[in-house]
């Protein structure tokens, strides 16, 4: 079979090369008509234009053409031996001068020279000493795409860059996984259950993005018995040095002033980060971690996935999306039906891609149940946190394509593997797996030495290194903080998550195989990594923080802060802490004993629970302040001494505060 196929392909390829010497039909997506009549173009005088006598020129905005293929432009006045100059818009040193192959009363045809790559080119006509600028257009160098069928194979295609097939590219339909051959060709015996085929974009390549969404997949519409050809074009880039922003839990729903908060706080901060990295020479990408929308308000507020795409398009880089439980259709019961809208609007619910030397995997770890959900009626919106069997099998196949087990693996999924850590009576950290098949999932990566799993869902921050030391989970706090409540007009005027972390996103800087990371608080500088509290001044009463409510109503939420303290204790919230960090405190040059504790963040209590009670509402249980173990406590000898706080992260970055005490607790506390 292999020998027969190669013979057929060789014959087909030779035939195509012969055809490429003849006029080829190019695809014109849209066109721009430029008519020259008594006016100059480029640097030419009116006399020169009249001399050239070229009018009615039509420049296609984009053409698809094979290497060394022909392009025809329409217009009157072209002559044999005219020359076409093509200049790459991004690099003026790449200029090609080509003699017109043939000219008629209505057109001129020229052959692309060897070595020219895809790109946007300015086109100029030259005749002797005279020249005329005709505009610019995009040239897409495509591969010869006449691929023979193979019995039983329902999907075929070629993955190419600048007209040449790329070998070894992983291709999948979500069930089967294959790789392209030496000529960039793939075949799949697909049942087309998922409705698409996708590639795992290889490192140092990109695909075209539409409104920031990378087009790494093609939809399948024919029956499983009908052969469909789906080709993929790659653009070479150097993304061995790149940055990924992990943004989770947007919960955009057109409520709580969320669109204004996103536009005025989150978007400028994210784009500033993107622009800073781009200016330094890094490629930048965003990986969402689910819950970009809020299923409960898809129909009530008429705000869903398509509306999210409008906000996504405002970001200054490509965005890879992950599905969250709130991105399912609440009118549909059952996981398969409920995720159909996401597949239609966004794309695959699980897939992989590569950036430089790093392999990224996106998973959907939600089995949406939504009992009683029917068209016109929102169901219970319940779900299982689990990676369903078909997806787990695909994951194993995807990982099997990676032969170098030192390749860094980054997995993005919505629901966390581990619960929020606890501290036992002996001061030891207790980590508990909460994902239903979390152990099975983690076992898939036993052969790999450097695995990072990025999760969301909890609206808090915590980092867990597994016992083997080869996998680390980064549970990332929310873009929306506490579902946009603390920043709602008339509330606290801040972005604070349930553990006191500021609303924000994870930043992962990669150079080769080396990955470093930090948490970026929206609206703050990069070095804002902790907040301190003078517990002598943390006394939460209705009179101080919820004057329209009562102490009785507030008391269930205030933890230990409902009584005044004179112990001279200071609490430090280090939101991206992991066991490799160090927290040090000095008073008048003397080191104080620092103890890691589990505690509630007082800023969140006064920013959410107190504000809700103040307007006569009952705080939502899921939104209430959550005890966290990234808290540290020290006891000073004086109530008014200045404390020098030094926090050092695992990469040696140092963050400091000279904490002046007494320090009041307000909604603007930093």
Position with higher pLDDT, 645 vs 56: 645
More confident residue, 456 or 44: 456
- pLDDT attached to residue 425: 86
- Statement to judge: residues 64 and 178 lie in one domain: no
CATH number at residue 73: 2.60.40.10
Q: Is residue 326 part of a domain?
A: yes
Query: Quick one: three-class SS letters along 567-592?
Result: CCEEEEECCCCCCCCEEEEEECCEEC
* Count of beta carbons in the 10 Å neighbourhood of residue 106: 11
The reply to whether 545 and 504 lie within a common domain is: no
**Residue holding tokens 């939101």?**
575
CB neighbourhood size of 126 (10 A): 17
Looking at residue 297, what DSSP letter applies?
Answer: G
- Residue 311 sits in the same domain as residue 421: yes
What is the pLDDT averaged over residues 6-30?
37
* CATH for 181: 2.60.40.1120
User: Looking at the structure, do residues 226 and 287 belong to the same domain, yes or no?
Assistant: no
Residues 197 and 137 in one domain: no
Averaged pLDDT, 546-575: 98
Domain assignment present for 148: no
Q: Which of 76-80, 394-398, 470-474, 638-642 has the lowest mean pLDDT?
A: 76-80
Tens-digit pLDDT profile for residues 87-110: 999 899 999 999 999 999 999 999
Vertex 357 angle, CA 354 and 358, to 5°: 55
Calculate the CA 667 to chain-centre distance: 31
400 plus 303 within the same structural domain: yes
Categorize the per-residue pLDDT at 42 as very low, low, confident or very high, splitting at 50, 70 and 90.
very low
Cross-strand partners of 418: 433
Tokens representing 50 are 């009249």
Residue where a domain stops, chosen among 205, 233, 261: 233
Provide the percentage of residues in the chain whose pLDDT is more than 70: 92
Q: How far apart are CA 237 and CA 377, in angstroms?
A: 47
Query: Mind listing the pLDDT tens digit for each residue in 307-327?
Result: 999 999 999 999 999 999 999
Kindly state the average pLDDT of the residues 537-544.
98
pLDDT in tens, 541-550: 999 999 999 9
Which tokens in the block code for residue 37? 């009549």
DSSP bridge pairs for 658: 644
Q: Is residue 664 part of a domain?
A: no
Measured from the Cβ of residue 561, the count of other Cβ atoms closer than 10 Å reads: 21
CA distances from 389 to 80, 188, 306, 434, 437 (A): 65, 21, 29, 18, 10
Rounded Cα distance between 181 and 204, Å, is: 19
User: Do residues 23 and 61 both lie within one domain?
Assistant: yes
Distance (Å, rounded) from C-alpha 599 to C-alpha 625?
Answer: 10
Range of the structural domain that residue 184 is part of: 155-233
10: pLDDT confidence band, cut at 50, 70 and 90? very low
For 448-462, give one letter per residue: b (16+ CB within 10 A) or e.
bebbbbbbbbbbbbb
Instruction: Report the alpha-carbon distance of residue 352 to residue 342 in Å, rounded.
Output: 17
In this structure, what is the dihedral angle of CA atoms 6, 11, 15, 16, given to the nearest 10 degrees?
0
Cis bond upstream, residue 662 (ω within 30):
yes
Cβ 274 vs Cβ 242: under 8 Å: no
Look at residue 667 and tell me if it is in a domain.
no
Distance CA(497)–CA(493), nearest Å, equals 13
Could you say which of 92, 107, 142 is where a domain stops?
Answer: 142
Report how far residue 599's alpha carbon sits from residue 354's, in angstroms, rounded to the nearest whole number. Answer: 39
Tell whether 97 and 167 lie within a shared domain: no
Tell me the pTM. 0.88
Position 62 scores a pLDDT of 87
| Confidence band, pLDDT 50/70/90 cuts, at residue 51 | low
Tell me whether residue 587 is in a domain.
yes
pLDDT digits (tens, 9 = 90+) for 160-175: 999 999 999 999 999 9
**Last residue of some domain: 202, 233, 264?**
233
For 291, other C-beta atoms within 10 Å of its C-beta total 28
Q: Which whole-number Å values give the CA distances from 302 to 24, 254, 294, 310, in the listed order?
A: 48, 8, 11, 14
Is 665 contained in some domain? no
Going by their DSSP bridges, the two strands 429-430 and 422-423 should be labelled as antiparallel
pLDDT at 406 exceeding the cut of 80? yes
How is residue 374 annotated by DSSP? B
Res 464: pLDDT: 97
Question: Across-strand partners of 33?
Answer: 58
Within a domain: 188: yes
- The total number of structural domains that make up the chain: 4
Dihedral of the alpha carbons of 13, 19, 24, 26, in degrees to the nearest 10: -10
SS3 523: coil
One domain for residues 24 and 111? yes
Q: What percent of the chain has pLDDT over 90?
A: 86
Does residue 18 have a pLDDT over 80? no
Asked if residue 670 is part of any domain, the answer here is: no
Hey, is 98 helix, strand or coil? strand
| Pair (316, 412) in one structural domain | yes
| Residues listed for the chain | 670
**What CATH number has the domain bearing residue 484?**
3.60.21.10
Same structural domain, 399 and 415: yes
- CA angle, 152 as apex, 149 and 158 as ends, to 5°? 40
Nearest 5°: the CA angle 322, 328, 329 is 150
pLDDT in tens, 239-278: 999 999 999 999 999 999 999 999 999 999 999 999 999 9
**511 and 538, same domain (yes or no):** no
Give the separation between CA 322 and CA 290, rounded to whole angstroms: 5
């Amino acid at each position: 079979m292999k020998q027969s196929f190669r013979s057929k392909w060789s014959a087909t390829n030779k035939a195509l090369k012969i055809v490429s010497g003849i006029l080829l039909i190019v695809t014109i997506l849209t066109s721009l008509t430029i008519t020259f009549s008594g006016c100059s173009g480029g640097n030419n005088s009116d006399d020169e234009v009249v001399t050239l006598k070229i009018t009615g020129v039509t420049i296609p905005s984009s053409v698809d053409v094979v290497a060394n293929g022909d392009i025809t432009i329409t217009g009157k006045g072209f002559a044999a031996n005219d020359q076409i100059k093509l200049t790459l818009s991004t690099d003026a040193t790449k200029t090609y001068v080509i003699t017109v192959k043939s000219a008629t009363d209505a057109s001129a045809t020229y052959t692309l020279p060897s070595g020219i790559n895809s790109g946007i080119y300015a086109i100029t006509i030259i005749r002797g000493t005279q020249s005329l600028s005709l505009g610019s257009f995009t040239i897409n160098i495509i591969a010869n795409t006449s691929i023979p069928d193979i019995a039983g194979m329902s999907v075929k295609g070629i993955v190419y860059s600048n007209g040449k097939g790329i070998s070894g590219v992983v291709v999948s339909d979500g069930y089967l996984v294959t790789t392209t051959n030496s000529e960039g060709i793939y075949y799949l015996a697909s049942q087309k259950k998922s409705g698409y085929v996708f590639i795992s974009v290889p490192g140092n390549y990109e695909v075209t993005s539409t409104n920031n969404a990378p087009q790494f997949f093609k939809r399948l519409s024919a029956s499983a018995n009908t052969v469909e050809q789906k080709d993929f074009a790659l653009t070479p880039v150097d993304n061995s040095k790149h940055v990924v922003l992990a943004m989770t839990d947007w919960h955009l729903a057109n409520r709580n002033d969320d669109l204004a908060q996103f536009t005025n706080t989150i978007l400028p901060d994210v784009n500033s980060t993107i622009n800073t990295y781009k200016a330094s020479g890094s490629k930048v990408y965003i990986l969402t971690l689910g819950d970009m929308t809020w299923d409960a308000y898809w129909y009530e507020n008429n705000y869903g996935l398509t509306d999210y795409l409008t906000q996504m398009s405002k970001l200054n880089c490509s965005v890879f999306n992950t599905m969250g439980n709130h991105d399912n259709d609440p009118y549909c019961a059952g996981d398969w039906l409920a995720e159909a809208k996401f597949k239609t609007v966004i794309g695959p619910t699980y897939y992989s891609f590569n950036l430089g030397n790093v392999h990224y995997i996106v998973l959907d770890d939600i089995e949406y149940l939504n009992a009683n959900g029917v068209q016109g009626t929102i169901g219970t919106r319940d779900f299982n946190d689990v990676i369903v069997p078909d997806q787990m099998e695909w994951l194993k196949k995807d990982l099997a394509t990676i032969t170098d087990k030192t390749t860094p693996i980054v997995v993005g999924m919505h629901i966390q593997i581990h619960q929020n850590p606890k501290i036992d009576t002996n001061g030891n950290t207790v980590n508990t797996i909460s994902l239903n098949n979390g152990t099975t999932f983690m076992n898939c990566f036993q052969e790999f030495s450097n695995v990072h799993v990025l999760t969301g869902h909890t609206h808090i921050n915590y980092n867990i290194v597994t016992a083997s030391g080869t996998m680390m989970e980064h549970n990332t706090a929310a873009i929306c903080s506490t579902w946009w409540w603390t920043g709602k007009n008339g509330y606290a005027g801040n972005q604070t998550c349930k553990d006191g972390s500021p609303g924000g996103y994870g930043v992962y800087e990669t150079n080769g195989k080396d990955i470093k990371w930090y948490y970026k608080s929206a609206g703050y500088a990069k070095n804002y990594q902790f907040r301190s509290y003078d517990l002598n001044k943390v006394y939460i009463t209705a009179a101080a923080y919820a004057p329209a409510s009562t102490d009785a109503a507030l008391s269930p939420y205030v933890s230990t802060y409902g009584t005044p303290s004179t112990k001279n204790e200071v609490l430090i919230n280090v939101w991206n802490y992991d066991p490799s960090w160090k927290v040090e405190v000095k008073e008048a040059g003397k080191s104080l004993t620092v103890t890691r504790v589990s505690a509630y963040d007082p800023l969140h209590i006064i920013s959410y629970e107190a504000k809700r009670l103040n307007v006569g509402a009952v705080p939502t249980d899921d939104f209430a302040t959550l005890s966290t173990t990234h808290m540290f406590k020290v006891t000073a000898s004086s109530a008014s001494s200045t404390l020098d706080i030094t926090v050092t992260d695992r990469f040696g970055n140092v963050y400091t505060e000279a904490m002046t005490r007494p320090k009041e607790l307000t909604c603007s506390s930093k």
